[in-house]
Structure 1
């Protein structure tokens, strides 16, 4: 994708007022709108217009280019959970003087463990949805979601090693965790029927995903360990967990399955109905 939008990025980065250019490709998770496939955010200082938007097509991909005033961008990031989520789930294509790092450090929610937690939660979401699609016989949808899962797994491998992800994702993963690249290549290059391919790759990737579980869940378990029992609403509204967004429910179910979180039934105000609460497993 970076190659396709390179002219837009180059144009924005060449402007002396531009302090950062971000790529957002999780549109459907961040907003209900279906206007763009990807969004490019250019953050620029001293803009007369607080936000400008242009619409593009790049080989069938719908691209939204937003040029946002730096002051407005910073204010929204520090006060709005949606904007903060966008910050953490975007990819930095250009920044001047480590601008994005400085903004992250200003947020009260900043936590180096958060980035890998968000990636891992998205991985679990994609993998779970893909496996459900596969079991229902929707093989092309399952294939797409499994490809997404393997990309997320590759990004996690790089984050663990402190390596900056860029367009050379798979080249870098080959040197860090070649097993992930091998599975990815088997999925996209194998001549086996798609059903057989998916069956084998879902099984193989599950072991690699499990190996990342403790690291990927460290952030959320650390937050939940600060209290006792949590309702889902309490978890979802916690300022350090809001960013998990649509991935949170599936992620919690995964952690229950792996016995890192346990559920507790708590009597509700409705006769015979119990509310489900969550707490960290004491032995994890």
Structure 2
């Protein structure tokens, strides 16, 4: 089998832009980690052409193999945004088959260390997602669309769980509820009550909103630390200036809601600036 795998990845590993190759085996208790393939070969490269990822499937006897070629920039984005949770597990448990200049060795160590600034950005992104889901859940609840409210509440709890894990200096993994059960039983209990209680759905949601309000409030300071640090760099900002800042582009459309949330909490002050049209004002924002 080793010869077959080497034949698959050898050509890619020998290319000048290849940084490393990882081998990941399927776990019987979590087959989804490898998308039900028996073996994943992850090749990380820089300056990838055309597409950020390339995927090839193979079959050898009864073994299913997937070769995934991905740019180092894409890997960094996945780790930061949490948009591909499998990648944490792959880098953490993957067997290094090829490593140029200790790239994978250093990446695995960075994953364990989880630098403070990276943790602040990731916390901010998760908090922004939490606010969006929570507000959407409340909106659906108030219009008595309880199933939609339930769906968004589940998502908001998921972001709350990921925040709790990041606060402990860890990356959220695929099995996030197993992690949070050990790290923050209070959030896990809320999840259990929402999903297993025999109370009517509207009653479950009503009780959960009360608890969530407190948990969100208690995380506002840490969840907005990264954004506030950037907003302190200049006296005031237009919304376009905020969205265009390189470190805030990761927030995407959730950034608007984050600003609105901080305005409501009187952390950010909106300023009315005269425009060329009489009676029409530009809105800018500044830290209080």
TM over 0.5: yes
Which deviates further from its counterpart, 219-228 or 185-194?
185-194
Which structure 1 residue ranges, 5 or more long, are not aligned? 20-42, 56-64, 78-82, 105-109
Which deviates further from its counterpart, 191-200 or 213-222?
191-200
Cα deviation for residue 12 of structure 1 reads 5.4
RMSD (CA atoms): 3.1
Cα deviation for residue 68 of structure 1 reads 3.3
Q: Which residue does the alignment assign to 2:279?
A: 272
Q: Which residue does the alignment assign to 1:94?
A: 90
Name the CA distance, whole Å, in 1 between partners of 2:76 and 2:277.
Answer: 36
Contact kept, 8 Å, 1:9 with 1:93, in 2: the verdict is no
Please give the residue correspondences for 1:86-235 in structure 2 after superposition, counting only pairs within 5 Å.
Answer: 86-89=78-81, 90=83, 91=85, 92-95=88-91, 96=96, 97-98=104-105, 111-235=118-242
What secondary structure, in the 3-state scheme, does the structure 2 residue paired with 1:5 have? helix
Larger radius of gyration: 2
Name the CA distance, whole Å, in 1 between partners of 2:108 and 2:234.
Answer: 30
Cα deviation for residue 86 of structure 1 reads 4.7
Residues 231 and 45 (structure 1), Cα distance of their counterparts in 2 relative to 1, 3 Å cut:
closer
Cα deviation for residue 45 of structure 1 reads 8.2
Name the CA distance, whole Å, in 1 between partners of 2:210 and 2:142.
Answer: 13
Q: Which residue does the alignment assign to 1:23?
A: none
Contact kept, 8 Å, 1:84 with 1:243, in 2: the verdict is no
What secondary structure, in the 3-state scheme, does the structure 1 residue paired with 2:132 have? helix
Q: Which residue does the alignment assign to 1:8?
A: 35
What secondary structure, in the 3-state scheme, does the structure 1 residue paired with 2:252 have? helix
TM-score (norm 1): 0.71
Contact kept, 8 Å, 2:141 with 2:149, in 1: the verdict is yes
Aligned residues: 231
Residues 237 and 9 (structure 1), Cα distance of their counterparts in 2 relative to 1, 3 Å cut:
farther
Cα deviation for residue 199 of structure 1 reads 1.1
Please give the residue correspondences for 1:241-256 in structure 2 after superposition, counting only pairs within 5 Å.
Answer: 241-256=248-263
Contact kept, 8 Å, 1:120 with 1:216, in 2: the verdict is yes
